[in-house]
C-alpha cells in the first residue's frame, strides 16, 4: 500500500504548540475572572481591569507593543498554517522503498569528485534538482572536469535524476 | 513527535484572531480605520459585570484548558502496538511481534549496505506495520550498492510477508561527522 513520503517537520508544528499555550493562558485569565467575581479569591479581576482600560483615549505603550506582537505572531501562524511540509528525502530507483537525503547526494558526489584524477579538493551542494560540484584542480589538469562529471554520474547512478554542474578552479603553482 | 490534524486549521483560526486583535490595538492608537471609535465600551462593561458572565467565563476557562491540554498531549509519541495478525485459517490465528523483526532488518542493512548507525522505528499502516530503517551513509558508497541493499531487504520482507503485514522502508541520511581527532593529522 502507498505510504506517505518522508517529510520535514511542518511549519505549523511550533505555532501549534505556542497556540495551545496561548489557549491555556487565556483559560487562566478567564478562570481568574470567574474566581475573583465569585469571591473565591480576594484579588481584582484581571479581565475587568483590562476592559476598564478600553475607555482610555489611547492604549498604553505596553498594550501597543503587545498588539503589534500579536499581529506579527498572528501573521506567522497564518502563513505557517498554509505552508506544506516539504519532502525531506529523494526517492531512489528500484522496487525497494529507498529514500536518500540531499546530504547523502552531496557527500557521495564530493567523495567521487575528490577521487577523480587531478582533483585536490571537491565540495558539492544540492539545490532542488541541481547538483553543483566545486573542485580545486592540480595545475595542468583542465581535462579533469570530464572525469569529475563521469565519476559523479557513475557514483550517483540510480539514486536521483539530477542536473550536475561542475565549477573547477585550477590551483596556483 | 506526532502531528495532530488540528494543527493547521487551529493555527489558522488563532492566527486570524491574533491578527484581528493586533489590528484593533493599532487602530486604537493610530485611528487608521476609525473602528475603535464605533465600539460601545459601556455595553462591554455591562456584559462583563453581569452575574452570568462569571459562570460563562468559568465554563469557557474549563473548555479552553481541556482543549489546550489535549492539543499538547496529542503530539506526544504513542508506543506502537508490536503485534500484527498473520493470515489465519479457521479458528487458528497467529500474531507476530514486529519488534522481533526490526533488529534482524537493522543487522541485514548494516551488513549489506555501505551504511552505519542503523536505527529503526515502527509505524502502523492500514493492514500492518511499516518498519522504517534509518541509517547514515558511508561517503565512499555508490548509488548502486545502496539500491541493491534496499531491494534485497524489501524482497526478503515481501517474501516473508506476502500479504503485506510488514513492509520496510530504508531512509539514508548524510554521514555522521567524525569526532575531532585528538592529535593533528600528519601528511
Rounded mean pLDDT of A63-79? 95
Model confidence pLDDT, tens digit, residues B109-121: 999 999 989 999 9
Of A82, A117, A136, the one marking the end of a domain is: A82
Q: Which residues of B touch A22 (CB under 8 A)?
A: 14, 18
Domain locations in chain B? 7-73, 83-173
Find the domain containing A109 and state its range: 91-170
For residue B90, is it left (φ>0), alpha (ψ between -120 and 50) or beta? Answer: left
Q: Does residue A155 fall inside a structural domain?
A: yes
The CATH number assigned to the domain holding A130 equals 3.30.300.30
Residue B186 is predicted with a pLDDT of 57
Give residues with Cβ within 8 angstroms of B113, minimum separation 6: B135, B141, B145, B146, B149, B150, B170
Q: Which pLDDT tens digit goes with each residue over B3-40? A: 788 889 999 999 999 999 999 999 888 888 877 777 77
Searching chain B, which residue's CA lies closest to the CA of residue A152? B142
pLDDT value at residue B172:
94
DSSP state for residue B166 in the 8-state scheme: E
Tell me: do A72 and A44 sit in the same domain. yes
* ipTM exceeds 0.95: no
Statement: B83-173 belongs to CATH 3.30.70.890: no
Residue A150 falls inside a structural domain: yes
Is A34 a member of any domain? yes
Query: Both A78 and A113 in a single domain?
Result: no
Q: Do residues A107 and A165 both lie within one domain?
A: yes
Structural domain includes residue A1:
no
Whether residue A5 lies inside any domain: the answer is no
Three-state secondary-structure class, residue A33: helix
A149/B contact by beta carbon, under 8 A: no
Q: Quote the pLDDT of residue A117.
A: 87
pLDDT class of A145 with cuts at 50, 70, 90 = confident
* Cβ partners under 8 Å of residue A158, min gap 6: A92, A93, A94, B143, B144, B147
The domain total for chain A is 2
Residue after which a domain boundary falls, among A54, A82, A110:
A82
Same domain? A125 vs A57: no
CB atoms within 10 A of CB B162: 9
Contact B15 A15 (CB under 8 A): yes
Best mutation target among B6, B49, B53, B57 (most A Cβ atoms within 10 Å) is: B57
Q: Which three cell numbers stand for residue B74?
A: 496529542
In terms of domains, do A78 and A139 share one? no
Residues 82-121 of B with CB under 8 A from A: none
Measured between alpha carbons, how far is B108 from B17 in angstroms, rounded to an integer? 53
The residue that leads in pLDDT, A31 or B43, is: A31
CA angle B116, B120, B126 (to 5 degrees): 145
Q: Does the pLDDT value for residue A37 go beyond 60?
A: yes
A58 and A76 part of one domain: yes
Amino acid at each position: 500500500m502507498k505510504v506517505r513520503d518522508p517529510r520535514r517537520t511542518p511549519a505549523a508544528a511550533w505555532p501549534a504548540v505556542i497556540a495551545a499555550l496561548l489557549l491555556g493562558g487565556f483559560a487562566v485569565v478567564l478562570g481568574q475572572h470567574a474566581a475573583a467575581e465569585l469571591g473565591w479569591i480576594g484579588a481584582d479581576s484581571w479581565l475587568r481591569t483590562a476592559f476598564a482600560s478600553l475607555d482610555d483615549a489611547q492604549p498604553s505603550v505596553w498594550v501597543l507593543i503587545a498588539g503589534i506582537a500579536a499581529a506579527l505572531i498572528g501573521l506567522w501562524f497564518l502563513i505557517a498554517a498554509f505552508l506544506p511540509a516539504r519532502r525531506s528525502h529523494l526517492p531512489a530507483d528500484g522496487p525497494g522503498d529507498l529514500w536518500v537525503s540531499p546530504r547523502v547526494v552531496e557527500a557521495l558526489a564530493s567523495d567521487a569528485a575528490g577521487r577523480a584524477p587531478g582533483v585536490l579538493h571537491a565540495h558539492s551542494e544540492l539545490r532542488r534538482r541541481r547538483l553543483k560540484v566545486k573542485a580545486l584542480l592540480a595545475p595542468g589538469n583542465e581535462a579533469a572536469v570530464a572525469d569529475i562529471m563521469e565519476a559523479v554520474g557513475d557514483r550517483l547512478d540510480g539514486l536521483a535524476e539530477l542536473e550536475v554542474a561542475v565549477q573547477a578552479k585550477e590551483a596556483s603553482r | 513527535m506526532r502531528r495532530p490534524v488540528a494543527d493547521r486549521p487551529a493555527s489558522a483560526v488563532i492566527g486570524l484572531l491574533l491578527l484581528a486583535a493586533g489590528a484593533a490595538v493599532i487602530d486604537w492608537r493610530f485611528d487608521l480605520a476609525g473602528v475603535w471609535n464605533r465600539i460601545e465600551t459601556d455595553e462591554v462593561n455591562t456584559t462583563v459585570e453581569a452575574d452570568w458572565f462569571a459562570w460563562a467565563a468559568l465554563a469557557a476557562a474549563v473548555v479552553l484548558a481541556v482543549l489546550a491540554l489535549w492539543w499538547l498531549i496529542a503530539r506526544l509519541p504513542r508506543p506502537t502496538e508490536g503485534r500484527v495478525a498473520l493470515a489465519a485459517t479457521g479458528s487458528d490465528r497467529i500474531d507476530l511481534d514486529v519488534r522481533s523483526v526490526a533488529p534482524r532488518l537493522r543487522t541485514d542493512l548494516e551488513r549489506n549496505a555501505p551504511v552505519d548507525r542503523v536505527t529503526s522505528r515502527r509505524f502502523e499502516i492500514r493492514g500492518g506495520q511499516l518498519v522504517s530503517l534509518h541509517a547514515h551513509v558511508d561517503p565512499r558508497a555508490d548509488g548502486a550498492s545502496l539500491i541493491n541493499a534496499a531491494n534485497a531487504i524489501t524482497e526478503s520482507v515481501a517474501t516473508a510477508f506476502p500479504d503485506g503485514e510488514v513492509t520496510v522502508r530504508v531512509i539514508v541520511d548524510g554521514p555522521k561527522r567524525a569526532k575531532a581527532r585528538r592529535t593533528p593529522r600528519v601528511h
